């Protein structure tokens, strides 16, 4: 870890807190765009945890939390969401210093967030005298109603609004039951994205970062293929509980194969030396077009057999 000047630490604390609070403010007060900005709250926490160390770096999320509580005025599920994002950034920083593999770093961080999130929901449920399922149901219903109101403001036709409104009970039923997969998959995505961004920033500033190697050479363990196949077969069983279990597993595993597909795309972008502006455009298309997104997932999945990057000799080594 680089040596910091005596007056640099207070300045870094103020800067890190200001950045975290700015992202938080955008997330709260700017609809849609703010929601996606919230995914980058872990970034300043992770960056300054590695730069300042554990004790000093912990000051930033604590001060940021205090400001968040002042803005919200009370404990809520939204506040818990932001707390977990800050915790994710700090947990990633802790795990990076242990120098684990990329798989273990992301998996352990996601597991920690998942467990602490459940504990937070349980405690919040005790305060509000509601169970976790009731809390989730209420939160999903609230956000579905907000989404419907947003569609109305966007000028969506009354016919489509009525069709969506009639489907809300069914949508709510499904969403509540796949929340575990959605939470874990989104945490995987946020972890991976923030690690990539933090790695670029920290390498630029010659700061500490675990040597993961070239991530566009990364491949998921081959055994996960059987998990995807198994979850797909479970969906064919005429039992709603088993189908939901299979769907949760499938969503989680397909997220992993999305990262594998992105690694393949990045590998060939680098190999063919695509211009940066063209890469940004294509990555944006992957995020915006569902069909292209599914193609990337499929690319990551069939790479187990076709091995597009010819990485036989590298898969047995530690993330080369």
Quickly state the pLDDT bin for 72 (edges 50, 70, 90).
Answer: confident
- The reply to whether 74 and 122 lie within a common domain is yes
- Out of 188, 205, 222, a domain closes at 205
**Token pair of 302 as six digits:** 């069939």
In the predicted model, what is the mean pLDDT of residues 217-229? 91
In this structure, what CATH number is given to the domain that contains residue 110? Answer: 1.10.1760
- The reply to whether 201 and 237 lie within a common domain is no
137 in a domain, yes or no? Answer: no
- The reply to whether 186 and 275 lie within a common domain is no
Domain containing 46 equals 1-130+176-205
- The reply to whether 119 and 37 lie within a common domain is yes
- The reply to whether 116 and 231 lie within a common domain is no
Quickly state the pLDDT bin for 112 (edges 50, 70, 90).
Answer: very high
Return all residues near 277 (Cβ < 8 A) that are at least 6 apart.
none
pLDDT (0 to 100) of residue 217: 86
% of the chain with per-residue pLDDT over 90: 41
- The reply to whether 18 and 71 lie within a common domain is yes
- The reply to whether 260 and 303 lie within a common domain is yes
Provide the CA 95 distance to its chain's centre, in angstroms: 16
Number of structural domains, the chain?
A: 2
pLDDT at residue 206 greater than cutoff 60: no
- The reply to whether 186 and 241 lie within a common domain is no
Q: Within 10 A of 259 (CB to CB), how many other CB atoms are there?
A: 21
- The reply to whether 111 and 238 lie within a common domain is no
171 in a domain, yes or no? Answer: no
pLDDT (0 to 100) of residue 57: 92
Mean pLDDT of the chain: 86
Instruction: Name the more confident of 156 and 72.
Output: 72
């Amino acid at each position: 870890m680089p040596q910091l000047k005596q007056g640099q630490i207070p300045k870094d604390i103020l800067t890190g807190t200001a950045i975290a609070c700015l992202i938080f403010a955008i997330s709260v007060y700017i609809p849609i765009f703010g929601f996606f900005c919230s995914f980058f709250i872990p970034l300043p926490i992770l960056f300054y945890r590695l730069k300042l160390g554990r004790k000093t770096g912990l000051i930033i999320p604590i001060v940021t939390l205090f400001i968040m509580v002042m803005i919200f005025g009370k404990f809520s599920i939204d506040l818990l969401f932001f707390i977990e994002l800050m915790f994710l950034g700090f947990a990633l920083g802790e795990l990076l210093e242990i120098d684990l593999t990329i798989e273990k770093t992301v998996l352990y961080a996601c597991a920690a967030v998942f467990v602490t999130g459940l504990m937070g929901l349980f405690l919040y449920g005790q305060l509000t005298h509601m169970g976790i399922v009731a809390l989730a149901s209420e939160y999903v219903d609230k956000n579905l109603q907000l989404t419907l109101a947003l569609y109305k403001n966007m000028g969506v036709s009354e016919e489509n609004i009525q069709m969506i409104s009639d489907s809300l009970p069914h949508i709510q039923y499904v969403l509540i039951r796949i929340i575990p997969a959605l939470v874990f998959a989104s945490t995987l995505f946020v972890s991976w994205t923030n690690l990539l961004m933090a790695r670029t920033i920290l390498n630029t500033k010659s700061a500490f970062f675990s040597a993961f190697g070239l991530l566009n050479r990364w491949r998921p363990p081959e055994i996960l293929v059987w998990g995807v196949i198994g979850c797909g077969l479970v969906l064919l069983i005429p039992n709603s509980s088993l189908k939901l279990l299979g769907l949760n597993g499938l969503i989680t595993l397909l997220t992993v194969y999305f990262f594998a597909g992105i690694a393949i795309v990045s590998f060939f972008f680098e190999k063919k030396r695509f211009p940066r502006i063209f890469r940004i455009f294509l990555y944006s298309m992957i995020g915006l077009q569902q069909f292209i997104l599914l193609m990337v997932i499929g690319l990551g999945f069939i790479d187990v057999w076709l091995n597009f990057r010819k990485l036989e000799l590298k898969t047995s080594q530690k993330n080369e």
